[in-house]
Amino acid sequence: MKTAPNTTMNLVLQGLPGSKERIERIAALTAPTHRTWLSEHALRCDDISFSPALRQTIEVAAHAAQLDTTYMMGVHKMNEFKLVAMDMDSTLITIECIDEIADMQGLKPQVSEITEAAMRGELDFSESLKRRVGLLKGLDASALERVYEERLRLSLGAEEMLAAVKAAGLKTLLVSGGFTFFTSRLKERLGLDYTHANELEIVDGKLTGQVIGTIVDAEEKKRTVERVCVQLGIRPDQAIVMGDGANDLKMMSISGLSVAFRAKPVVREQANVALNFVGLDGILPLLT
């Protein structure tokens, strides 16, 4: 986030339950004109005198205290937004599905290495996906069900976040470079409005090592957010977009509020909000 030196801003400090004393300690560094507790473990410091030096001091201290920091001009309200768009792997859920599928083939280290490089933005996503899916050729399709049942877990705060945004009337979109096998099940389980992901080709009960149709890469993710916004009759800046990897940056760039969740450095640096310690429900105190 680029900000002119010596600007007056608001700062939200938040942590996990039990962090109130640590929040108080970091807040004291900011000399706020006013403080508002947004929840038991989220505090807004109003009209702090922002400077790069102060920001660095606060961020180093907050990180050491396992607190998340969000700087804002003014305040955001939930009713400013109409859509929440989420990445799936390592954002809405805690795993990278393709890595766990590869584990069934004894290939997790090889596939994880490619996944990590792609998420850091070091490899073209489409090419990396083709390479990874190709390594899965011949795997019994039942492995997908095993990954869903045995390994897939929702990220911290996911259900609380979704309940709150849906209660406020926002629509939900899950857009993933992962696979329809998982997004379709999550859509039904969580009551999501829209999903879009890659489809694995399965022939005679086995993966062929191919993806059917257009690969959902960074550009396709962005187009998907734009398409859903058109369908809803809203502007992209009325969308909140959450992600963790380099392939999420394009869809995050058109949003009104971009959220980096447990994200790679390249994503944290470009997002409006970075949540490193709290759950996905960490966006809720920012929308009061």
The answer for residues whose C-beta is within 8 angstroms of residue 166's C-beta and 6 or more apart is 172, 191
Q: Which of 46, 47, 68, 87 is catalytic?
A: 87
Structure token digits, residue 63: 């990180």
Bridge partners, 149 (sequence order): none
Chain centre distance of CA 25: 28
Supply 36's token pair: 């508002």
For β-strands 257-261 and 239-243, DSSP reports them as: parallel
**Quick one: tokens of 103?**
């584990």
232 CB-near residues (< 8 Å, 6+ apart):
82, 83, 171
Catalytic status, residue 46 = no
- Give, to the nearest 10 degrees, the angle between helix 142-150 and helix 180-190: 40
**Closest by Cα among 241, 219, 213 to 85:** 241
Residue entry with tokens 């660095």: 56
Classify the C-alpha dihedral 11-16-18-19 as positive or negative. negative
Phi, psi dihedrals of residue 141, rounded to the nearest 5°: -60, -20
47 counts as catalytic: no
Instruction: State both tokens at 228.
Output: 């859903």
The maximal CA–CA distance of the chain, rounded, in angstroms, is: 67
Q: What is the dihedral of CA 211, 225, 262, 82, to 10 degrees?
A: -140
CB-CB contact of 68 with 284 (8 Å): no
Catalytic residues: 87, 89
